[in-house]
Amino acid sequence: QVQLVESGGGFVQAGGSLRLSCAASSHTFSNYAMAWFRQAPGKEREFVAAITWSGTHKWYANFVEGRFTISRNDMKNTVNVFLQMNSLKPEDTAVFYCAADLRPKSYDLPGSYAYWGQGTQVTVSS
């Protein structure tokens, strides 16, 4: 069964850092583009960052402003995707989701991704 499992969320003060991880249970995901989205209460799910299957190309939302870095580590039976988040702001508070798709039509649209994790909560206090 294909699964995406996020971890690394938590509570941090403004200016702090967190590193989110997403473990994909199947080696099949080595051919997939991976992405992070987030959803704050009462808001739509929004794009944060994406990375191609090779790791060669990366995209970030404008609000990232150089604070976040997406990366991936493809192993024999699992694929791990990371989101290093620095200089966190209270407005970054949200549930962060990992997503995967073989050929996303648009890297920044949630509808482009077939597989999703359950999410991990990030809370940034002022």
| Strands 120-125 and 94-101, bridge-based pairing | antiparallel
Residue 2, pLDDT score: 67
Q: What is the mean pLDDT of residues 53-57?
A: 93
Q: Please say whether the beta carbons of 122 and 65 come within 8 A.
A: no
Burial 12-36 (b: 16+ CB within 10 A, else e): beeeeebebbbbbebeebbebbbbb
- Tens-place pLDDT, residues 99-121: 999 999 999 999 999 999 999 99
